[in-house]
Amino acid sequence: MAEAHQAVAFQFTVTPDGVDFRLSREALKHVYLSGINSWKKRLIRIKNGILRGVYPGSPTSWLVVVMATVGSSFCNVDVSLGLVSCIQRCLPQGCGPYQTPQTRALLSMAIFSTGVWVTGIFFFRQTLKLLLCYHGWMFELHGKTSNLTRIWAMCIRLLSSRHPMLYSFQTSLPKLPVPRVSATIQRYLESVRPLLDDEEYYRMELLAKEFQDKTAPRLQKYLVLKSWWASNYVSDWWEEYIYLRGRSPLMVNSNYYVMDLVLIKNTDVQAARLGNIIHAMIMYRRKLDREEIKPVMALGIVPMCSYQMERMFNTTRIPGKDTDVLQHLSDSRHVAVYHKGRFFKLWLYEGARLLKPQDLEMQFQRILDDPSPPQPGEEKLAALTAGGRVEWAQARQAFFSSGKNKAALEAIERAAFFVALDEESYCYDPEDEASLSLYGKALLHGNCYNRWFDKSFTLISFKNGQLGLNAEHAWADAPIIGHLWEFVLGTDSFHLGYTETGHCLGKPNPALAPPTRLQWDIPKQCQAVIESSYQVAKALADDVELYCFQFLPFGKGLIKKCRTSPDAFVQIALQLAHFRDRGKFCLTYEASMTRMFREGRTETVRSCTSESTAFVQAMTEGSYTKADLRDLFQKAAKKHQNMYRLAMTGAGIDRHLFCLYLVSKYLGVSSPFLAEVLSEPWRLSTSQIPQSQIRMFDPEQHPNHLGAGGGFGPVADDGYGVSYMIAGENTIFFHISSKFSSSETNAQRFGNHIRQALLDIADLFQVPKAYS
């Protein structure tokens, strides 16, 4: 085949007359361009490293300082107070470039200027770090900003006024502080008070006091020592022990999904949609590599940590018997594709040039049109990533450590990301409530063997052009993948576009070599392991009940009229709904971020508080006036907002206790208090889905450009997983998961309780009932 010859740089044959070499100019051209592109990336990284290293300074500011020093010297003004003369005397004597007095003077002034410049950068960075340690602004009432906060904001803007690159603020971010043990235990006891009767609470108080007095001081010293030494005292242990050491399947238990735009559709052509989306993804990766993406800023001035974005692409979770590892590559020039039981390798570049959307559409159409059948054992191979981690690690070592299986597996694991081409069609139909839930189920687990759950993310494409993501959780949290997804969907809709027939704009290059089939040699023993993993995964997937719905009566706009935060409003509604559903309260997990600190990830907000339970009980009794209920609600909302702010500012409960528990295990110290705390089940696990991290378009002008967010599986077998996205002024999307095997839970029933709880709370504020 002509394409196969183009892929080889040179060939040779041995003849009686000697060795006959045949060079492929096209292939050599591609090799040359690839090398040039690689060197460009290296130079860009070096340049960015320098610019990032001197931020908020710049080469221009260095030149200004040098010119100012030299200029003052010509004006007979010694701004160095004699330091330039000292430096000049210290320079080596003799021949060479330092021979003339003028050269020695200029060099001395350049050294002095560089020292002043570096000192200034250090001073500005330390000042910025001190300023970023101030979190008083978070606790001030909306519209009532103190003078101190105004001065602080002016200083922050002044020190970060120069256009920053993605990682410019990393070294200026403060470290996550270690809370005092007494404060953490006090907040912990306060959080469990509504869940325990007097006898149980008294027993827990005794355990906590014994721990605080006897065991905690020693553990805390080690934790403080780690906080001085490490960039973040939590994140590395959190990644290892919560994610990488987990031996249960990633599917449902750890991975989560993200939905496409659900109220509009740009095209029905599957290959065309993939062409635009994947081109946009690689554009994003290029910006990421060049650090051209702006850092996410709270209030537009407070930088968030960006370190999680480093492993978004070219990353795979490698299974191990005891613990997994994350393998991240600096670059990858292809994606791995799954379609109808076959695996393909699709190149994203032609030489140094990124393939255009129309070229990618053609390549994906070639895969869709390929009639070849799967090889023995190939169809369900990805079920290994959906089953137990130990079984996958053993199979990987036994059957994929050499030969063509190793080469094919490396093609998947070294890919930029994984692409799954499904034969089914899913989308959201507002007239069919079940459609959103079916769409979510397809994204969460598919058929258990058409997703590669180990990749940082799998891009899922349905036959009707609808898309979605399934993301592995260890490398980063949901806001990071959400940042990518917002950019990609915005670029697809407003920058790339389609023809009237739904195809990518422009003409493709038919001379491109088609995608390559990956070759496998999977023995019967391995096929048996694959089938076993598939059965484990299928049982898990079949047990998941997922109920997704769009809440249309109101959204953020109406909630703000109640003078409370939208998140607190929804969280209190969840408490009311859960009590109506189960007749009791439970330990509730809400994820908040700690990205205002270096390498920060998440912290837990314990949403079931004494204030929220008092409100729920009052609502249930039915004997309180609306004014009393409003007062109780406002107290609960205020408490929730304060807890959320404490969690964001490093004063949470659970990460501190988690790290103390790990230190106790390292030291061989037994703590009944920590053992009990860490074993408590989260029967209601919740998360708000971020949106509008990037302003790609005006939502008021394009109100239908809404994603539906995403979701995850239940954390406890007898509990609920709830994610929600407050999508603009007038709607909220909910994703509720539970397990069919639990007789106590029902996702749809809980969803109906959530609907009613939201309406009942809104009614307390006598909001006009246009939504009724």
* Residues whose CB falls within 8 Å of the CB of residue 299, separated by 6 or more in sequence, listed in order: 137, 153
Q: How many other CB atoms are there within 10 angstroms of residue 14's CB atom?
A: 8
Tokens for 483, please give them. Answer: 């940042």
**Cα gap 626→564, rounded to integer Å:** 16
**First-to-last C-alpha distance (Å) of the chain:** 67
Tokens for 336, please give them. Answer: 């791995």
Q: Exposed/middle/buried for 196, CB within 10 Å: 0-12, 13-18, 19+?
A: middle
**Cα gap 267→498, rounded to integer Å:** 7
Alpha helix segments (H runs only) across 75-192: 83-90, 101-132, 147-159, 181-192
In 3D space, the residue among 680, 645, 440, 676 whose CA is nearest the CA of residue 548 turns out to be: 440
Distances (CA, A) of 457 to 13, 92, 333, 464: 44, 58, 16, 21
Q: Tokens 């019967």, residue? A: 524
**Residues that are catalytic:** 473
* 214 DSSP assignment: I
Structural contact between residues 705 and 257, judged by C-beta atoms closer than 8 angstroms: no
**Cα gap 625→642, rounded to integer Å:** 26
* 374 DSSP assignment: P
Q: What phi and psi, each to the nearest 5 degrees, are found at residue 97?
A: -70, -15
- As a residue count, the chain comes to 772
**Cα gap 710→548, rounded to integer Å:** 9
**Cα gap 603→654, rounded to integer Å:** 7
* Residues whose CB falls within 8 Å of the CB of residue 376, separated by 6 or more in sequence, listed in order: 522, 527
Tokens for 506, please give them. Answer: 């422009």
Distances (CA, A) of 323 to 233, 390, 416, 534, 540: 20, 9, 23, 21, 22
**Cα gap 10→36, rounded to integer Å:** 20
Structural contact between residues 606 and 588, judged by C-beta atoms closer than 8 angstroms: yes
